[in-house]
Amino acid sequence: MFTQLSLALNNFIDNDLGHAADQTSLLRKKHKLHLADSLDKGHWTTNLCLVASGIAKVNPRELAVKLAVVLEAIDGVDRVEIAGPGFVNIFLTQDAFLQQAEHTINLAPEINSSLQEKIQIEFVSANPTGPLHVGHGRGAAYGDAIARILSSLGHQVEKEYYVNDAGRQVDILGCSIFLRKFSCTDDESFPASGYQGSYVLEIADSIKLDENAQHIQKEELCKNLPDDPEAEIDELIARIQSNYSDLWPIIRAGGLAYVTQSIKNDLTEFKVEFDQWFFESSLGELSNEMSDISKALHQVKQNHAYEKDGAVWLESTKFGDDKDRVIIREDGRGTYLSADLAYHKNKLDRGFDTIINVWGSDHHGYIKRIEATIEAMGYNKNQMQVQLVQFANLFEDGAKVKMSTRSGNFYTLKQLIDDIGPDAARFYYLSKQADQHLDFDIGIARTHSKDNLYYYVQYAHARICSVQNKYLALGGSLPKVFNSIDGFHACDPLIQLALNFPFVVKSAGENLQPHLIIYYLRDLAQGFHHFYNETNILKAEEQDQANMLRALDLVKNVIASSMELIGIEPLQEM
């Protein structure tokens, strides 16, 4: 029905208005046809006449009269009303209305293959230096949800985790493990910039070494260290690297493997699976001229870089950045940006139409820089889209849960999952726009009470399952199709709500806003609970009952499909 009505509106714009071409195309773009939010405004409603009056100075209500004549001639349209300043409200015949429901219940998405894209989403990408915490969980839930939504819209989606395994942070981890492994320091004198979490001890224990490796000159290693914490840790790393060149790679690689695996395990428990784990180290070394990172830097250096103060600078200001950026340091090492530059080149060269980077919002200052980098390499910056995810504040019984990464004392994602389950966690993570602060009360998420919106939604699904089972137990079989009965409208509001499903998914996908699904689920659950309380389905007249069961099947499917899009499993019973 939507397609037919939409076509009719466009025909009306093209043929009946006599507008100039530019006005016509503007009007085509600006007018809306959408499901009415309440049935007294019809089933469908359009603002076409209002928009047209703004563009071409015509009287909207006069125009509406003309449009009404056109629309009323369409098969399935019962009548048309002109309301307010010039809205056109379209009322369908009950037959046509229910026909739409049959269409939606089968949930066959209409995919326009010409609009299909190859999309890559990179998310989480936490440094492999410790367990994922609750902040990472939000990025994981978000990235996975938009991946699911975009695939359901027909796009080809690839999920990728970028592992920063080449930088200083992993050296610090290796150093921390080394110090613990050989008990080089006590807790008191453990470097302040090292990783102090207890997981470091677990990793140290897990790494098995030959017996002859135990001769560590502990005092030698730890004496005369600089006072500055950063210099201290760097000095320690340098000493270990040069004095224990046999042990160092084993410890470092062992730690990296351990942490990476534990991150994978946590994500699996959270039901987030990546298609691709991309290791920064695979970009190669700057010292190797044939490495990807060297080639990428070389490409940029030819036209858009210069030397100053012994370093190589990218002329990023030419591409909209606030200042130029160092890509090769005075000492010849690359910066973080140089690796990211090569990584983005790699991604774009893989042939994606769009790459989406999901970043913590504290990286927003980095966006211009990376956009400039992409343009400097000769790509279109619009191929990349950055989605920022704000950190989540955890509350328990109204009090903020303290998190301190430095001391290694923090609430991990795994703890959260163990506490409230992956589904409730995902639900709450997605319950607000990603780029805004989220206050997440674990106390509420944990309770199985009416405060808990997650269970409110699940309960709707479970209740429908329950009614269906009761009905089947009585010997009935679920109807496969609506019967058109005059005068039966008890389910109309519920059906109208369910018909919104494809539009909600489309909007959630286009705007990369999975929270729209959460709010839709809430509305749907509310509509159902309302209906359920005022209607006794099992005692209804036979024909009415069949339609009610059909409508509930529709709602159940839509709830289940919506949940699937955010990675939540619908409960059959509670």
Partner RNA sequence: GCGCCUGUAGCUCAGUUGGAUAGAGCAACGGUUUUCUAAACCGUGGGUCAGGAGUUCGAAUCUCUUCAGGCGCGCCA
Site for RNA in 234-293 (CB under 7 A): none
Decide: is 467 part of the binding site for RNA (CB under 7 A). Answer: yes
**Site stretch for RNA (CB under 7 A), options 199-207, 254-262, 270-278, 527-535:** 527-535
Decide: is 539 part of the binding site for RNA (CB under 7 A). Answer: yes
**Site stretch for RNA (CB under 7 A), options 13-21, 243-251, 418-426, 459-467:** 459-467
Q: What is the DSSP string of 224-280?
A: S--SSHHHHHHHHHHHHHHH-TTHHHHHHHHHHHHHHHHHHHHHHHTT---SEEEEG
Please say whether the dihedral angle defined by the alpha carbons of residues 531, 534, 538 and 540, taken in this order, is positive or negative: negative
**Site stretch for RNA (CB under 7 A), options 114-122, 174-182, 236-244, 507-515:** 507-515
Decide: is 169 part of the binding site for RNA (CB under 7 A). Answer: yes
Decide: is 62 part of the binding site for RNA (CB under 7 A). Answer: no
Nearest to 253 by CA among 158, 360, 332, 177: 177
> What's the min distance (Å) between Cβ of 460 and RNA?
8
> What's the min distance (Å) between Cβ of 230 and RNA?
7
> What's the min distance (Å) between Cβ of 319 and RNA?
15
Beta carbon nearer to RNA, 196 or 513: 513
C-alpha to C-alpha distances, 469 to 130, 371, 475, 555, nearest whole angstrom: 47, 55, 10, 16
> What's the min distance (Å) between Cβ of 291 and RNA?
17
> Contacting RNA (CB under 7 A), which of 30, 61, 271, 381?
30
> What is the x/- site pattern for RNA, positions 311-350, by CB under 7 A?
x----------x--xx--xxx---xxx-------------
> Contacting RNA (CB under 7 A), which of 58, 366, 379, 385?
366
C-alpha to C-alpha distances, 20 to 14, 15, 24, 197, nearest whole angstrom: 9, 11, 6, 69
Decide: is 536 part of the binding site for RNA (CB under 7 A). Answer: yes
Quick check: 435 and 390 in contact, CB under 8 A?
yes
> Contacting RNA (CB under 7 A), which of 19, 415, 532, 553?
532
> Contacting RNA (CB under 7 A), which of 5, 13, 26, 50?
50
> Contacting RNA (CB under 7 A), which of 94, 241, 281, 535?
535
Decide: is 529 part of the binding site for RNA (CB under 7 A). Answer: yes
Q: How far is CA 154 from the centre of its chain?
A: 16
Q: What is the DSSP string of 147-176?
A: HHHHHHTT-EEEEEEEE--SSHHHHHHHHH
Beta carbon nearer to RNA, 113 or 533: 533
Pairing of strands 438-441, 311-314: unpaired
> Contacting RNA (CB under 7 A), which of 463, 482, 496, 561?
463
Decide: is 199 part of the binding site for RNA (CB under 7 A). Answer: no
Nearest to 572 by CA among 452, 461, 467, 473: 461
> Contacting RNA (CB under 7 A), which of 20, 59, 62, 85?
85
> What's the min distance (Å) between Cβ of 173 and RNA?
11
> What's the min distance (Å) between Cβ of 453 and RNA?
5
Beta carbon nearer to RNA, 49 or 247: 49
Quick check: 468 and 549 in contact, CB under 8 A?
yes
Decide: is 574 part of the binding site for RNA (CB under 7 A). Answer: yes
> Binders of RNA among 411-440, rule CB under 7 A?
431-433, 435-439
> What's the min distance (Å) between Cβ of 446 and RNA?
11
In 3-state terms the chain splits into helix, strand, coil percentages (rounded to 5) of 55, 15, 30
Neighbours of 199 (CB within 10 A): 18
> Contacting RNA (CB under 7 A), which of 449, 477, 486, 542?
449
Decide: is 47 part of the binding site for RNA (CB under 7 A). Answer: yes
| Residue partners of 236: CB distance under 8 A and separation at least 6 | 175, 179, 191, 221, 222, 225
> What's the min distance (Å) between Cβ of 549 and RNA?
10
CA distance 70 to 410: 64
The one-letter amino acid code at 22 reads D
> Contacting RNA (CB under 7 A), which of 4, 10, 99, 127?
127
Nearest to 91 by CA among 30, 31, 28, 38: 38
Nearest to 167 by CA among 395, 405, 339: 339
Decide: is 558 part of the binding site for RNA (CB under 7 A). Answer: no
